Chain A
Amino acid sequence: MSPWAALRVVVIGIYIFMLGPILITAAVSFNASNRSQFPPRGFSLQWWERALSAEWVDPLWFSFKLGCAAAVISTLLALPLAFALARYRFPGRAAMVALTLGPLMLPALVTGVGLLQLFQYAGWREQIGFTALLVGHVVICLPFAVRTVAISLHALPPNVELAAASLGASRARALWHVVFPLIKSGIVAGAVFAFVHSFTDVNLSLFLVRPGEQPITVKILGFLEFGFAPTLAAVSVITLLLPLVLVAVVERITGLGDFIYGERERV
């Protein structure tokens, strides 16, 4: 067997490992019985019915709202920040870069714990819940948005703004008519990554919840204490489908491929 053919076999095995658990979860959600049997015996939509009940839809909707808010706010904050870091040299720039990338480098768990402590000791106990979660999510999503906008800025043809200026455009008009359209895909990508990061977060959210105000991830986690339930399988599939559809749609419209290797770009 040629080396490449052997590699293909290995790769198939790896894909099975990677996608297996997800597919099994999806299959199990259609189980007729209350067991995690695979292959599932019988077919039933009862768990899906339960997954779409208020008990699960509420946290799902909560996560969605939270994600949208976090994405919008992080992107709004990221724009000026990315501009400043990408375009200007100023004392303390390196420190600012470190501060911006900080939430990415430090475990979200620690940031969550720290925020809980802050809110408690600052007397903001009432805000623990949506507000605290929003704050925490914005902090951990900000680096993603900054990174993609910075990548877009770096990818701009270097003299484009000078060309606009030489043709009579003021700084503001050059920004609006020339720069902004060119970095649009970076902004959108940043917002999408921020949304997904917020929607899937659990480590930070864990510490900032209150009854009635918890993201879907924390709710699922809590439910697992009670053992298995096929409803959870259905809910899990829904929480995967949502970001999947979002990413697929955005990919079609503006494309996200350029930003995936973001790791190697420095702000």
Chain B
Amino acid sequence: MARDHGGVTSAVPWLLIAAPMAVLLVFFALPNALLLSASFLKSESQQLTSELTLENYAFLFSKPLYIWAFIRTFIVGVSVGVIDVVLGYPLAYFLVRTRSRWKGLLIALALAPLLASVVVRTYGWYIILNRFGVANDVLLGLGITQERIAFMPSTGAIVIGLAHALLPYTVLTIMGALQGINPNLERAAMSLGASRTRTFFHVVLPLSLPGIAGGFILAFSIAISAYATPAILGGPATQVMATAIYGFMTQLLDWSIGAALAVILVVCSMALLYAAARMGAKQAAL
């Protein structure tokens, strides 16, 4: 039976969670369980049979197209993670330490892009990177290039678009980590003879390492499951896991393989989140 903090047993918590739990079980746990089972079932002429098999996974790991999709997804994830940490850290440090009276506005400005859907933000890069877009116009205009470059579709374009879209997440994570650092630590370092720069490298940076790792993992895990940006800035030759899943589910109508891909994606995400949770625990201990 359940206890509340008065030490009295009660059925209250069960009543409270009944409705939400039902919703989550039926519309979250169940669908995912269905996916998991579908990934082990054979598909024939676009219909799921009840034959257990591992051939769906085997298929994915045997075709170069899909192996490349995995690799590309991974490369995109790492690149986006790295870029976002490199760009996000200076911004986060600035926002946490600045004494400008526009501090609130600046923070809002850094987080505001999150209010626009990924589609919208990626569209901006579409405008910039397409053959007749802003980037090419500028390069031609400045005489740097003679003809229009196809910046997209390409893996690089996907990386730029995702790095841009996910930057606010790393900024938030690192800001959180920096705020947890006792300001007296920097004063102590300075009183002991460390200049501002040396204080940063000897004290602030090492202590914010868990935040950096957390920001990287967050950007990485969102990047590997991204659909819209790879779909818009990439193409059939630059598939990632999410676009492949979409293809299987809605075009090829092969539920089994699509489900298998989804399961692989989920396993990767969970592994990352587990790593992030360990990071978080380490930070709390500091």
Spell out A's residues near B (CB within 8 Å).
3-4, 7-8, 10-11, 14-15, 17-22, 24-25, 28, 35-38, 77-78, 80-81, 83-85, 87-91, 93, 96, 99-100, 102-103, 105-111, 113-118, 121, 135-136, 138-139, 142, 196, 199-203, 206-207, 217, 220-221, 224, 228, 232-233, 236, 239-240, 243-244, 247, 257, 260-261, 263-264
Contact A80 B19 (CB under 8 A): yes
With A and B bound together, what is the CA distance between A224 and B16 in angstroms?
A: 45
Judged by a CB distance under 8 angstroms, whether B255 is at the interface is yes
CB proximity of A124 to chain B, nearest CB, Å:
11
A161 to B91 Cα, complex, angstroms: 42
Bound: A261/B19 CA distance, A: 28
Nearest chain A CB to B46's CB is how many angstroms away?
A: 12
A260 to B173 alpha-carbon distance, docked (Å): 10
CB distance from B169 to the nearest CB of A (A): 9
A35, A81, A115, A202: the one within 8 Å of B227 (CB): A202
Contacts A113-B262, A202-B227; is A207 near B115 (CB within 8 Å)? no
Instruction: Tell me which of A4, A22, A89, A102 has the highest count of chain B C-beta atoms within 10 A of its own C-beta.
Output: A22
- Which single member of A10, A207, A244 contacts B250 (CB below 8 Å)? A207
Determine whether the beta carbon of B24 is less than 8 Å from that of A100. Answer: yes
Q: Known: A81-B17, A261-B176. Contact between A142 and B24, CB under 8 A?
A: yes
Q: How far is the CA of A111 from the CA of B132 in the complex (A)?
A: 37
Q: Please name 24 pairs of A and B residues whose Cβ atoms are closer than 8 Å in the assembled complex, sorted by A.
A: A14-B87, A21-B128, A22-B116, A22-B121, A25-B123, A77-B20, A77-B23, A87-B5, A88-B3, A89-B2, A96-B21, A103-B28, A106-B266, A109-B245, A110-B262, A114-B32, A114-B35, A117-B255, A139-B24, A236-B119, A240-B116, A260-B111, A261-B179, A263-B172
B115 contacts across to A, CB distance below 8 A:
196, 200, 240, 243-244, 247
Given A80-B17, A88-B2, A114-B31, decide whether A138 and B23 contact each other with a Cβ distance below 8 A: yes
Q: A109-B245, A121-B34, A217-B117 are in contact. Are A96 and B134 (CB under 8 A)?
A: no
Question: Is B113 a contact partner of A22 (Cβ separation < 8 A)?
Answer: yes
B17, B117, B124 — most chain A CB neighbours (10 Å)? B117
- Contacts A96-B17, A260-B111 known; list 14 others, CB within 8 Å: A4-B196, A11-B90, A15-B110, A36-B133, A81-B21, A85-B17, A90-B1, A99-B21, A102-B24, A109-B225, A139-B28, A142-B20, A228-B132, A247-B115
How far is the CB of A107 from the nearest CB of chain B, in Å?
3
Across chains A and B, the number of contacting residue pairs, with CB separation under 8 Å, is 261
In the assembled complex, the CB of B254 is this many whole angstroms from the nearest CB of chain A, namely: 12
Q: Chain B contact residues: over half helix, strand or loop, or mixed?
A: helix
Given A87-B5, A99-B29, A203–B242 Cβ distance below 8 Å?
A: yes
Residue of B nearest to A63 (CB): B117
Contacts of B242 in A (CB 8 A): 107, 109, 203
In the complex, what residue of chain A is closest to B33 when comparing beta carbons? A114
A97 shortest CB reach to chain B, Å: 11
Give residues 260-276 of B contacting A (CB, 8 Å): 262, 265-266, 269-270, 273
Give which listed residue, B20, B38, B137, contacts A38 with CB less than 8 A. Answer: B137
Assuming the contacts A220-B119, A221-B231, A239-B117, asked whether A115 and B27 have C-beta atoms less than 8 A apart, the reply is yes
Which chain B positions have C-beta within 8 A of A142?
20, 23-24
* A168→B85 CA distance, assembly (Å): 54
Smallest CB-CB separation from A119: which chain B residue?
A: B31
5 interchain residue pairs of minimum CB distance: A21-B124, A114-B31, A107-B225, A90-B2, A200-B117
Looking across the interface, which residue of chain B has its beta carbon closest to that of A38?
Answer: B134
Query: When each residue 99-125 of chain B gets 1 if its CB lies under 8 Å from chain A and 0 otherwise, what string results?
Result: 000001000011111111111110111
The answer to whether A99 and B34 touch (CB under 8 A), given A3-B197, A220-B120, is no
In the bound complex, residues from chain B placing their C-beta under 8 Å from that of A118 are 27, 30-31, 34
Which residue of chain A has the shortest Cβ distance to B88 in the bound complex? A14
